[in-house]
Amino acid sequence: MSFGDPNNPYGQQPQGQPGYGYPQQPQQGYPQQGGYAYPQQPQQGYPAYPAGPGGYPGMPMQMPGLLKTARVFLYIIAGIQLLVGVFALLGAAFVSSSDSLGSSSSADTAAGLIAVIALVSIVFAVWAIVLAAKFAKGGNGVRITTIVYSVLFLLSSLGNFANLAGSEANPGSAVGGVIGLGVGVLILVAAVNKDSVAWFNRPRY
């Protein structure tokens, strides 16, 4: 079969050799997608985190600084309350076995009151430890419970001030009452702060 004159550009060209006699080569490079095209690469990267308090996407949310401070104070308060509870229980046992009050009924009553105070102190200490431990992964329920704890702590501090006002007290007790009020206010503010609200209501995956 004749393909015509190979020197005639208008003649029939051999199959597989279009154009001016040059063999057709497979196209290499980037695929044509209209205009300047670039190769499609699979998108790779790190999974996106929910936006933090500052609103920056792709960054993990961090616990607010005020909430971290309140967490530290909760642990400190818990330690102090545990010590107070242990010493109060020892005091209750001593009063119960002592004859200094004159009668066994009076000694038992005083020992019972001291024991109740000791148990309340220990319960509050355990409560504070649980709250502080749940700040990292807890939800809005932890925040509400922290508010309740801080309010009760403030009421107890105010009760101590009322007792100090009605009797002669040393300066150390007054300073301790002021510190207690300050710590209670700090924990309350940390629990109702908008950054803390966002932290406890953050999405969890």
CA distance linking residue 200 with residue 134, whole number of Å: 10
Answer for the pair 71, 135: CB distance below 8 angstroms, yes or no: yes
pTM of the full predicted structure?
0.65
Please give the pLDDT value at position 7.
Answer: 59
Q: Which residue has the tokens 């330690």?
A: 79
Task: Among 6-15, 64-73, 153-162, name the one with the lowest average pLDDT.
Answer: 6-15
Q: How far is CA 101 from the centre of its chain?
A: 50
Average pLDDT, integer, range 110-134: 91
Task: Among 55-64, 131-140, 157-166, name the one with the lowest average pLDDT.
Answer: 55-64
Average pLDDT, integer, range 157-178: 65
CA distance linking residue 158 with residue 150, whole number of Å: 12
Please give the pLDDT value at position 28.
Answer: 52
120, HSE (Cβ side, Cα atoms, 13 Å): 10
3-class state of residue 102 by DSSP:
coil
Please give the pLDDT value at position 108.
Answer: 77
Share of the chain above pLDDT 90, in %: 36
Please give the pLDDT value at position 109.
Answer: 82
Please give the pLDDT value at position 107.
Answer: 73
Task: Among 148-152, 172-176, 186-190, name the one with the lowest average pLDDT.
Answer: 172-176
Please give the pLDDT value at position 49.
Answer: 46
- Domain boundary assignment for the chain: 65-200
Nearest-5° Cα angle at 75, 162 to 205: 125
Nearest to 114 by CA among 98, 92, 99: 92
